A = this chain, B = another copy of it.
Amino acid sequence: MLENVILGLLLEQPMSGYDIKKTIDSSFGFFLKASYGSLYPALKRLTEKSYVSVMETENSKNKKIYTLLPSGKETFLTWLAEPIETPRNELLGRIFFYDHLDEATREQRLSEYLYRLEQEIKGLGTVQQIVSQELASLPNPGDYYYRVSVLFNGISQLTLVKEWIQNIKERNDLHVPNSK
């Protein structure tokens, strides 16, 4: 996963490992975490496989810029065309057992999580506004359809989870929330 995301980001422009991490954190930190301990080894592997090339910068001694090579682009596009896998969901794996958790801790954990969800939704709302504005000034907004869509859908999904958590906190009658 991470290797291919890196290739996908390098498709846009050459970047350093540090830049890649920042882009991941800000662009889709809400659904993918990249630690340096996974990022740098991934870049190393990609370099060894000649999917990317490295350039040391003249001005800064420490910095390396990675550029996507043709074989890397090919690999990325092959991955992209693979069938979609149903994603796993660790959240549900935990809540499944919440009948075994004491009332007080349960209440606390759900409240904490609810707060974080609200923060995240708020943050994404801001991103959404910025992106919408930027998009309006571009000549070809249709080229960014899917990434904007992922953002919008991310907000929907988080909102659905938020409403669910609110419901189960109050132990409301079980029902499938409106999906229509």
Contacts and interface: CB of A to CB of B under 8 A. Distances in A.
Interface in A147-173: 147-150, 152-157, 159-161, 163-164, 167-168, 171
A113 B99 contact: no
A29 B92 CA distance: 11
Interface stretch (A37-45, A46-54, A59-67, A79-87): A79-87
A35 interface: no
A146 B96 contact: yes
A168 B146 contact: yes
A139 interface: no
A85 B109 CA distance: 10
A101 B77 contact: yes
Nearest to A144: B99
A101 B80 contact: yes
A4 to B, nearest CB: 8
Contacts of A101: 77, 80-81
Contact of A81 (B77, B105, B120, B167): B105
A97 interface: yes
Contacts of A82: 109
